[in-house]
Amino acid sequence: MLDAPARLDRNAARAVLADADSSALACLIAVTCFVGDDILDEDGQPYTADELQEMLHPDNVILADGNLDKICGLLFTASGDEALVLPAIFQRVVAAVIEGDPFAFEDDNDTPTIPEVFWTLYQLELLLEEPLLDDLSAKVQRYIAKLAEEEAEDIAALQSQLDSVGDDLSGLEGYADKCLKFHKLHLATQLKALGCKAEWIADLDQDLAAALS
């Protein structure tokens, strides 16, 4: 996904980085327009948000709050396996990628949703060009399973409350897939504006490639 920054649209890259609603992957690709292969240091480790900001300063790139943390969340996971092993670190990566703040879910009453977890994993898989589910540790898998269980209980409780007034949540069936589809279309719009080509990702996700065509 990061093979051709020189062929991308710099003006579109500026727009993506200035938009707080931009996806983490689109932000990362946009940054490569300005820093190229310097996205990781000489030891293959990710630069911090402050370091990336300094690198972008000569080009006067304006970034929306949180977009650098989104990028760093992806790069941190791409440069090592700590986030795939430890639930606390995995949660911070999801928070960074989704909210632009690695500590957004530190409150015990606030956790990522299942769609947010899988949207994070999806972007990482596109970046790394390989599936990650089998690489998650048993602890991280149990963490995700617990989130799914709690989410299912919340939906069931809401359904029980609505039953008494004749409403139903049938539209929520497969809601995680629907959320991912929405995010993919948004990502496709951003990638197309940047100048990404369908053939670059056809082997990774044919649906996303089709949206770029």
Give the pLDDT confidence of 130-145 residue by residue, as tens digits.
889 889 999 999 999 8
- Give domain status of residue 213, yes or no: no
- What integer pLDDT is reported at residue 15 of this predicted model? 96
How does residue 48 score in pLDDT terms, banded at 50, 70 and 90? confident
Whole-prediction pTM = 0.86
Structural domain tally of the chain? 1
List b or e across 102-139, with b for residues whose CB sees 16 or more CB atoms inside 10 angstroms.
Answer: bebbeeeeebbbbbbbbbbbbbbbbbeeeebeeebeee
Using the predicted structure, report yes or no on whether residue 4 has a pLDDT greater than 70.
Answer: no
- Give domain status of residue 192, yes or no: yes
Rounded-to-integer distance, Cα 37 and Cα 19, Å: 23
Rounded-to-integer distance, Cα 141 and Cα 157, Å: 24
- Give domain status of residue 40, yes or no: yes
How does residue 101 score in pLDDT terms, banded at 50, 70 and 90? very high
- Give domain status of residue 15, yes or no: yes
- Give domain status of residue 56, yes or no: yes
Rounded-to-integer distance, Cα 136 and Cα 54, Å: 33
Expressed as residue numbers, the domain containing 190 is 5-208
Q: Which two tokens stand for residue 195?
A: 């100048």
* DSSP structural state of residue 39: G
- What integer pLDDT is reported at residue 172 of this predicted model? 46
Residue with tokens 């540790």: 137
